[in-house]
Structure formats: C-alpha cells, structure tokens
Amino acid sequence: MLRIITQSAEINAELQRIRDRPYRDEIQAKEVAVGEILDRIKHQGDQGLFEPFDTLTTPTNLKVSGSDLDAAYQQVSKELLDAIQTVSQKLESFYQQQLPKPWVKFEEDDVVVGKRYTPVKRAGIYVTWDQGSPISRILMQTLPAKIAKVPEIILVSPPDETGKIPPDILVAAQMTGVNQIYRLGGAKAIAALAYGTETIPKVDVITGSGGLDVILAKRMVYGTVTTDIPVDASELLIIADKTANPSYIAADLLAQVEQDPSSAVIILTTDLTVAQNIQTKVQEKLQDNAHGILSEKAIAHYGLIVVVESLEQGVKITNQFGPHTVILSLSDPWEVVEKLRAVGSLLIGNRTPKAIADYLGHGGVILPPSGLIRYASSVGVETFLKPTHLIEYSPAALKKLANALEILALAEGLPASANAINLRLLEGED
C-alpha cells in the first residue's frame, strides 16, 4: 500500500530512510571482493578475466563480430529500428546544443587567453540488461560521445547463459556510433576498461550503471580513468495540487518502479483528497500490472505520499531531497520552475509523462545518486571532452603583473615561482 503522511514530524525521517535505501549493508562485504577482481585484472590482463573452468567466454570470443551484428539486425523489428532512429535524431539535436564552443580573446599588451575542448581518445560504455532492455541508456551515453567526436567508443555488456548479448543492444550500439562491443559484465568489465587487457583496450572515460559491484568498481578505478558518478537507484518525485490527474500520477508511479524496483516514488501534494485518490488509483492499477507483486513491494517500501502545508514547503523538500526526475502536476507549473534547483529532469504539466524523461530526457536515466543532483550532473557531451586553457603573455604584460605575482608567490612559500617570473623580466631587458 502506498502510504500517506500528513504529519510534518515524520517527513524528514521517512525521506532520509528512502534516500539511504540501497546497498548500505552490503558495501563493506563487497568492497574486498571487487578490489581483488580489479587487482587481478590489472596485473594479469586477459588471464585475470576468466575462471579456470570458464569455457563459455574466452579471450577469442570476447569481442562481438561483424557476423554477430548482422545476425542481430535480422532479429530486430523494423518498427524498433525506426523508433531508435527517431529518438536518436531528437537526442542528437539536443546534445548538439550542449557542445561547448572554443573561444579566444585578445587583450591589451598582446595578451591572448582562450579555451578549447578536445575529445578523449577512447570512451567505455557499460550497459546491463537484467532489468529489461537498456536501449535508452545506450542512446544517452553513446550519442553525447558521438557528438563530442570521440574517435573510439567501446561498449561492454554481460552475455546471457549462451554467451550472447541481446540483439537490441547490439543494434542500438551500432546505430549510435559504437566501434567495438565486448561480452563482459560486472567489476571485470570495469577493470578491463580502466586498465586495459590484451583484448580490451584501456579507455579514458567510463560511464554507465549496474549493480553494486559495478558501482564500487567505478569508485575504485576513478583516478586511473574518469568516470561518471556511480548510480545506485533512481527517484521520481511528483508535486501535485488539486488540479492533478490521479490516474496519470498512478501510471507514472508504476512506470518508475517497473524500471527499477529499488527506485523511490514520492508525491508531494497540498490536497488530502488528491492524495487519497492517487492511493486508490495505484491500488487499482496494481491489479493489472505486469510486474504485480514486485511493483507492489517496491511501492510499499519506497513509495510515499506527503501532504504538505504549501507549495513552498513542497519545493523546499524537493531541493533538499535532490531527486532524479520531477513531474509538476500543477495548475501553474512555471511558477515553481525557477525555484527548483536540485533536479535532474523536470517534466512540466499534466500532459508530460515520465516516459519523456526516459527516452527524450537527454541523460535523464544516467543520473547521479539521490542528493548528488544538488551539485552533480548527468552524462552529457562535456563528459567526453577535455578542456584546455590557452594563455600567452607578452613581455610588456608580464612586466605590469610581475610585482603582484612575485608577492603572491613568496607569500605562498614558492620562491622558485617568483624566480621564474623575474628571470623572464631580466632576459627581456637584455
């Protein structure tokens, strides 16, 4: 049952419980095992990827071949191919707007300053499919890398019991610019991408979500490579007033938990009647829900309706929680848009379903964990770019700043830096 809370004293405690929900008791036990996997692959390469009796996957068939890709296209419907192409075009148009522009500025005394962006040499994309097809996650990682002009995009994904990757993954990856695909999952895949092996080349950036072993592995290899912020579980938060449609909200809520049973679904409403109607609609829709007991359990554990005193209180709670996706089911949603600072994807109005964020939310499914939205961002074009500052100073410009720079250098205990400045001044006088 989706619970309703009307007492302010309960709100903070319940939201904190939901925020802390995933993995907290498992982390310490898993860290040692993941660390051993990373260390083994770092030092043994391909040999470290396989158990002694692992005959299903070997170094010779880690890489997906061209014939595998051709076969995958034969297994995917034309309708799905068209859908991938349509959504890809929309996303590419958006990501093109994210592409930062290099700039150069010529200042007085022949000073030149600027900034340029260059793509990383190689990007690694991790996708898993244990909770359904990851097509949208593939698009929202590969397309930003493609727009950034990354020369080589590598995708890794765990194989099934027959050693194969589902055809829709192969097709979506190839359609969106992936150069190489490998059959490998979990911490092993992250280690292979981070350190490189004889078969799998080392990458510069790793993105993608997975289980706890993937989350921990990404944390441990950060510094060896750059990674996006590991995702543990997602959240949907809906702010609703008396004009909200309870049936729409119930449908979006179920759409969230069918994607991820550990995700949180929170409704903040100023109207008790709306809260009760949403609760009723959710129960009704659960009767016909394909995921049945699993969805009901998820809603009971991590679902919540909070009756707030005002819209302002709802906004404050939202900013404190930092959810991935927010739907504004309000009579005047634009009134609060500018007040919401800690949100991943913001869906405005009763006619904008959660699916828009999932498939056209421009990174909405590749987001940081709850709370981190306050200061972190989703995967985007800049994830795959390296900024470089450009600076050129003339002798005249350096002379004007030399005294101030020398004072700062000496104040910080850096006499060699002060000397590097003065040396150029002295040579300039010769």
pLDDT of residue 361: 57
pLDDT of residue 12: 84
Nearest to 275 by CA among 314, 249, 301: 249
**What is the C-alpha to C-alpha distance for residues 402 and 406, in angstroms, rounded to an integer?**
6
Give the global pTM: 0.77
The structural domains of the chain, with segments of one domain joined by +, span 4-22+232-361, 27-227, 397-429
Q: How many CB atoms lie within 10 A of CB 356?
A: 15
**What is the C-alpha to C-alpha distance for residues 68 and 167, in angstroms, rounded to an integer?**
9
Nearest to 335 by CA among 357, 312, 304, 355: 312
pLDDT of residue 130: 75
pLDDT of residue 315: 95
pLDDT of residue 73: 95
- CATH fold for the domain made of 4-22+232-361: Rossmann fold (3.40.50)
pLDDT of residue 239: 97
pLDDT of residue 22: 53
Q: Which residues, other chains included, contact 187 with Cβ-Cβ below 8 Å and sequence gap of 6+?
A: 34, 37, 38, 213, 214, 216, 217
**What is the C-alpha to C-alpha distance for residues 138 and 135, in angstroms, rounded to an integer?**
5
**What is the C-alpha to C-alpha distance for residues 421 and 134, in angstroms, rounded to an integer?**
55
pLDDT of residue 272: 95
Q: Which residues, other chains included, contact 102 with Cβ-Cβ below 8 Å and sequence gap of 6+?
A: 114, 115, 116, 117
pLDDT of residue 79: 96
β-strands 303-307, 152-157 pairing: unpaired
pLDDT of residue 53: 45
Asked: is 27-227 a CATH 3.90.550.10 domain? The reply is no
Q: Which segments of the chain have a pLDDT < 70?
A: 21-26, 51-60, 131, 230-233, 289-294, 361-377, 428-430
Cβ atoms of residues 360 and 271 within 8 Å: no
4-22+232-361 and 27-227, same CATH topology: yes
pLDDT of residue 363: 45
Residue whose entry in the numeric block shows the structure tokens 């903040």 = 268
Report the amino acid identity of residue 151.
P
Over residues 102-119, the pLDDT tens digits come to 999 999 999 999 999 999
